[in-house]
Amino acid sequence: MLNNKVEFLLPGMPELPEVQTTINGLRRKILNKKILSVWSDWPKVAKSPTPFSAFQKLVSGKKIEEIERRGKNIIFYLSGGIVMVAHQKMTGHFMVGKFVPQGGKMLAQDKKISKDPYNKYIHLLFKLSGKTDLALSDVRKFAHVFVGGNVQDIFKRSGVDKLGPDALKISVKDFEKLVKNQRRPIKAVLMDQALVSGIGNIYGDEILWEAKTNPFSHSNALTSLQIKNILRTIHKILSYATKLGGTSTSDYRDPEGQKGKYGLHLKAYRQTGKKCLRRDGGIIQRKVLNQRSAHFCPKCQKI
């Protein structure tokens, strides 16, 4: 079990707003461009096919026809029926620009990108038509990519087929049924990607603070009114966070190598010891829930 100090220092994994922000940027910049070649100094980033030379051969010469999100995964649909599934994991992020080799590494020519140290850990780079590059920077090398010609097979191997309905698309009826059938703390339910996909630690805290719901409240004890309010809040928080380009409390950067701005609006996540912004006299607390943190106000988020 992770101790409190170590868990607190873990970076927030890119969640739905960060992944959607990435996809929105990629769609504007690289749709219909052709992959000319692929470079990596960490071939293990490609989980399938292996060896890396097979991965390079499969995607080279293919055009990027569409990009979509499945939970926290980025799906690239390439010409010839090839599908590429990428998960940025805890510290990865895609960037678009011009990158040049230097000392065995790839560095951005754009100073706005290169001045940020989190943009310098490039381990996968796609040379594209139009003198454009798609780079994956990842400090901890946790990100991975799967490629193949069979969509169902790739979704199975990458785990996409195990995802629950999307947090922004699930119906009120299905969400209420899902929550009522669980006997776990509501935050654990929201973060379970097999039940509802896209929500992680950051937005789990923010959603429940906004909905005035304690993260340790048992989901099957919540009323229909409370559950509907949580779903409305999910839409509100995730949509607004996407509009602001996501949260960059740690490593996340958008396709231009810039930080998201939602971190300036956090009400609960990593606000331990601060006064609740509802001015109700409460102080934001942090407790461990399933080896992750839960931040909440004991005054306005009572069980």
Q: Which residues are catalytic?
A: 14-15, 72, 292
Is there a cis peptide before residue 185, judged by omega within 30 degrees of 0?
no
- What's the rounded Cα separation, in Å, for the pair 230 and 259? 27
- What's the rounded Cα separation, in Å, for the pair 126 and 86? 13
- Identify whether the C-beta of residue 266 lies closer than 8 Å to the C-beta of residue 131: no
The 3-state secondary structure of 259-302, one letter per residue:
CCCHHHHCCCCCCCCCECCCCCCCECEEEEECCEEEEECCCCCC
| HSE-CB for 182 with a 13 A CA cutoff | 24
71 backbone φψ class: left, alpha, beta (φ>0; ψ -120 to 50): left
Q: Whose CA is closest to 68, among 142, 138, 169?
A: 169
- What's the rounded Cα separation, in Å, for the pair 114 and 187? 37
- What's the rounded Cα separation, in Å, for the pair 99 and 250? 23
In this structure, the number of other CB atoms found within 10 A of the CB of residue 184 comes to 16
